């Protein structure tokens, strides 16, 4: 898939006006999920924004209780109903847990794609072995969404995305706001006269095949995060962030 470098992660967003504002300032990739319980909010935001639906990439995710083969299509249709859409552009398997069985779940998700309810099928929070197994049962892995930020760098998953040439979609690229107070990131932000958020997002997207989906609620922060797409870190900046000795996973299995 050809995804914008910066999209909108909507976990925790409960106001359709925020989604509409994001679209208005330039976001074209919107990411939600069944478990976020805000698909209606995202759908209302899309409906009220003055942008054609075809200009947007809308993604949602099937939760672990919708992954039995008989539940995939009804679960997808329920998401579409909540979103108020005929189809989504990207449908993820949110986690390989619960009712997930690669031999039955993935063909069922592919069947949903063939029926036109989604254009692409993605995976989320899979490990390398699970990705390899998925390739035996899925037509194409269009994207893989994982936690990825300066404190949690999933190099093996990044290498897989680069080797097989699909986008790695980085959620929590701001490490839950922890990067705001990081002295290295703050110093680089001062150097470029920008925000620590923009630096962290730019570091994430400096990797080949990686796009970011930060969350923001205010129009000012939405606009500021989007500017990261135009921020070019030099090799010294990237090396300094790479050298940060801190590992913190926000959403462990």
Separation of alpha carbons 145 and 64, rounded Å:
15
Separation of alpha carbons 154 and 139, rounded Å:
24
Classify 63 in phi/psi space as left (phi over 0), alpha (psi -120 to 50) or beta. Answer: beta
CB-based contacts of 210, cutoff 8 Å, min separation 6:
148, 158, 161, 167, 168, 169, 170, 204
Q: Where are the domains of the chain?
A: 8-176+209-218
> Which residues have a catalytic role annotated?
36
Mean per-residue pLDDT, 17-25: 97
Per-residue pLDDT tens over the stretch 164-190: 999 999 999 999 999 999 999 999 999
Output 112 or 246, whichever has higher pLDDT.
112
Separation of alpha carbons 68 and 58, rounded Å:
23
Give the model's confidence band at 253: pLDDT under 50 very low, under 70 low, under 90 confident, else very high: confident
Residue 124 · residue 59 · CB < 8 Å: no
Mean per-residue pLDDT, 200-212: 98
What pLDDT sits at residue 83? Answer: 98
Tokens of 32: 């939600």
Sheet strands side by side (includes 57-62): 8-9, 29-31, 57-62, 88-93, 118-124, 144-147, 168-171, 210-212
Residue 146 · residue 124 · CB < 8 Å: yes
Burial string for 4-14 (b: 16+ CB within 10 Å, else e) reads: bbbbbbbbebe
What pLDDT sits at residue 27? Answer: 98
Per-residue pLDDT tens over the stretch 217-227: 999 999 999 99
What pLDDT sits at residue 198? Answer: 96
Mean per-residue pLDDT, 127-148: 97
Mean per-residue pLDDT, 77-89: 98
Say whether pLDDT at 58 is over 90. yes
The proportion of the chain whose per-residue pLDDT surpasses 70, expressed as a percent, equals 100
Domain 8-176+209-218: assigned CATH number:
3.20.20.100
Tokens of 116: 């036109």
Separation of alpha carbons 49 and 23, rounded Å:
7
The proportion of the chain whose per-residue pLDDT surpasses 90, expressed as a percent, equals 98
């Amino acid at each position: 898939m050809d995804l914008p470098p910066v999209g909108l992660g909507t976990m925790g967003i409960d106001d359709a006006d925020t989604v509409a504002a994001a679209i208005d300032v330039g976001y074209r990739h919107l990411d939600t999920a069944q478990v976020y319980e805000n698909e209606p909010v995202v759908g209302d935001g899309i409906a009220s924004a003055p942008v054609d639906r075809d200009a947007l990439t809308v993604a949602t995710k099937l939760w672990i209780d919708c992954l039995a083969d008989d539940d995939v299509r009804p679960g997808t249709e329920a998401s579409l109903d909540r979103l108020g859409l005929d189809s989504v552009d990207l449908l993820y398997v949110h986690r390989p847990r619960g009712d997930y069985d690669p031999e039955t779940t993935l063909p069922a998700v592919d069947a949903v794609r063939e029926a036109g309810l989604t254009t692409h099928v993605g995976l989320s929070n899979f490990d390398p072995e699970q990705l390899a197994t998925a390739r035996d049962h899925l037509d194409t892995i269009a994207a893989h969404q994982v936690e990825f930020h300066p404190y949690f760098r999933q190099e093996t998953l990044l290498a897989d995305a680069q080797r097989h040439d699909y986008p790695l979609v980085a959620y929590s690229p701001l490490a839950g706001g922890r990067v705001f107070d990081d002295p290295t990131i703050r110093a680089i932000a001062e150097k470029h006269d920008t925000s620590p958020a923009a630096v962290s997002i730019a570091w994430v997207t400096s990797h080949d095949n990686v796009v970011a989906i930060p969350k923001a609620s205010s129009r000012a922060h939405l606009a500021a995060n989007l500017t990261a797409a135009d921020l070019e870190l030099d090799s010294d900046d990237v090396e300094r962030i790479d050298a940060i000795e801190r590992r913190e996973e926000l959403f462990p299995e």
